[in-house]
A and B are shown apart, each in its own frame.
Chain A
Amino acid sequence: MLVQFYNVSKIYPNGVKALDDISLKIDRGEFIFLMGPSGAGKSSFVKLLFREELPSRGQIFMNSRSIIRMKRSEVPKMRRNIGVVFQDFKLLENKTVAENVAFAMEVVGAPYRNIQKRVPQVIKQVGLEGYENTFPGQLSGGEQQRVGIARALTNEPLMLIADEPTGNLDLNTSLEIMELLYDINRKGTTVIMATHAQQLVKSAHKRVIMLDKGKIVSDSQIQFGEQQI
């Protein structure tokens, strides 16, 4: 079991209840769509996953360890198991493609030799060979998101969290990005993707968790009786 949520609620200081008594489990190697209208709690859910926020109530376990009781100094180590992909890519404009990817390894103190070896591998995996020395500003949206995914993959995370990764992209480019994410999932990485895009989800035949007003309104795994919480 990779992730477990037990009766998790998130209430912000301004009184907004973003998540209301959420319980669920995520297995290693799963591909999960997180759906729901704006304000349903998708972003809060994602933020709890990489501990940018802490829940107001309930428990969250990552690899059987409580991320709430975790010491501050242990948080960086926990996060190294998670890759995050953003809707707006969050690339560093003053760094080249290769430097953006290497950045993720540099900041966790990876040895130079490993960086030299690993960066070309991930750039190849996301299909950006030949763009190593290009700056993000010179790339299309789809290409920029590939850089974002490459950066999230460099440290070989157990789990990839993608928050509306296709939100800024057209349909064809979105489908290409989806193929890339499926490929990553096939190689064993758990993928959790928050999205609005119905057409991407329908054709995928993957587990879909629907959120509305902070509650899980449906979880396809449960519906089909494949998994019990």
Chain B
Amino acid sequence: MNMRSLKYFFSEASKSLYRNRLLTLVTIANVAICILILGAAVLMTVNANNIIDNLESDVEIVAFIDKEMSDKDTDLLREKIEKIDGVKAVVFISKEEGLKDLQEKLGGKEYDLNSTLEENPLRNSFEIEAVDPHKVPDIAKKIEILNGVYKVNYGKGVVEKLFQVTKWVRIVGIVTIVLLAFGAIFLISTTIRLAIFSRRKEVYLMKLIGASDWFVRMPFFLEGVFLGLTGAIIAVFFLALGYGSLTGQAHKILFLPLVTDIGFLINIYLILLGAGVLLGIFATYFSLSKFLDV
């Protein structure tokens, strides 16, 4: 490819974009809206995952131990629990600590639980953290049948529901993104098709004169990439602006833990720009293969 060809590709692409400028603007606006929604969906999914991860990591098993158990047996039980597949950490909470926690939770000094209850009604317990929060129900079942375990709590029912909800949030997010991507591809390929249609005489001549396939295709690919990338740049600009102000507000008003890691966000924005370019290439490819078969 020499410089003159390169100049030719760029001048043809820009002329065509200018000639159909209204369509160009509409397409860029459409691609921008698509990628904006796509980006918003991605950010929503990312944040939902973040919140879910936070919630999931809170999922913990509490195993209460029989009251009569000796310290030695307690240590043995702890070893047994630690050996269960998927268990990350086991923390022993004595009944005294448990009562202290409870006292704090109830608001402290208005009345003294120790003196009111006379005898500590709580049991020694283990707090067990799982490597994968999804495995919590399974692990809980295995702990339940161990000797010396009085009762296991892990928010049964609630945990399963939470996982059900998070699963659906993920699925809906992915489906939305795929649908929007198809929409953007359809729009760009329509524009490219119209560009080819308005230049069909030229394309026909080029083919008959003996221009190679890639030579005929190159200006259209440039056009497609331009449409995709420009739309993506506009979308990312507004997305970054909007999300920036949202995270600023969120810290003040909401208690949602939004993702604010700037490196991570820049990666997302770059991926969206790349997605714009890819959409342009895909869309052009689809519309070209049918039209250029002379």
Contact = CB atoms under 8 A, between A and B. Distances in A.
Chains A and B bind each other: yes
Interface of A: 50, 52, 72-73, 76-80, 82, 84, 90, 92, 103-104, 106-109, 111-112, 155
A80 B213 CA distance: 14
Of A72, A73, A77, A106, chain B has the most CB atoms within 10 Å of the CB of A106
Given A52-B294, A107-B215, A109-B5, A77 B205 contact: no
A80 B2 contact: no
B210 A111 contact: no
* 5 closest cross-chain pairs (CB), A and B: A79-B210, A80-B210, A107-B211, A76-B210, A107-B206
Interface in B149-188: none
Interface residue tally on B, bucketed by range: 20 to 34
Given A90-B201, A92-B201, A109 B215 contact: yes
B4 A84 contact: no
A104 B201 CA distance: 13
A108 B205 contact: no
Interface string B200-219: 01101111111111011000
Given A76-B213, A92-B201, A111 B4 contact: yes
B208 A50 contact: yes
B97 to A, nearest CB: 78
A25 to B, nearest CB: 23
Interface of B: 1-2, 4-5, 8, 201-202, 204-213, 215-216, 294
Nearest to B209: A104
Given A106-B4, A109-B5, A111-B4, A92 B211 contact: no
Contacts of A50: 208
A59 B68 CA distance: 99
Contacts of A80: 209-210
A143 B208 CA distance: 22
Contact of B2 (A72, A84, A109): A109
Contacts of B207: 76, 79
14 contacts: A50-B208, A73-B212, A73-B213, A76-B207, A76-B212, A76-B213, A78-B210, A79-B207, A84-B208, A90-B205, A103-B209, A104-B209, A107-B205, A107-B211
Contact of B210 (A92, A112, A155): A155
A108 B4 contact: no
A108 B211 contact: yes
A112 B205 CA distance: 20
Contacts of B212: 73, 76, 109
B209 A79 contact: yes
Nearest to B199: A92
Of A80, A84, A104, chain B has the most CB atoms within 10 Å of the CB of A104
B210 A77 contact: yes
A193 B49 CA distance: 71
A150 B209 CA distance: 13
Contacts of B2: 109, 111
Given A79-B210, A108-B209, 8 more contacts: A76-B211, A79-B207, A79-B209, A80-B209, A84-B208, A92-B202, A108-B210, A108-B211
A76 B1 CA distance: 16
A52 B205 contact: no
Of B1, B207, B210, B216, chain A has the most CB atoms within 10 Å of the CB of B210
Nearest to A80: B210
Contacts of B213: 72-73, 76
Contacts of B216: 107
Nearest to A79: B210
A79 B208 contact: yes
Contacts of B202: 92
Contact of A106 (B1, B8, B201, B204): B8
A152 to B, nearest CB: 9
Contacts of B205: 90, 92, 103-104, 107
Contacts of A107: 205-206, 209-211, 215-216
A104 B209 CA distance: 6
B101 to A, nearest CB: 76
A75 to B, nearest CB: 8
Nearest to A93: B201
Nearest to A75: B210
A90 B203 CA distance: 11
Contacts of A73: 212-213
Contacts of A109: 1-2, 5, 212, 215
Contacts of A90: 201, 204-205
Of A76, A77, A80, A111, chain B has the most CB atoms within 10 Å of the CB of A76
A77 B210 CA distance: 6
A79 B205 CA distance: 11
A155 B4 contact: no
Contacts of A84: 208-209
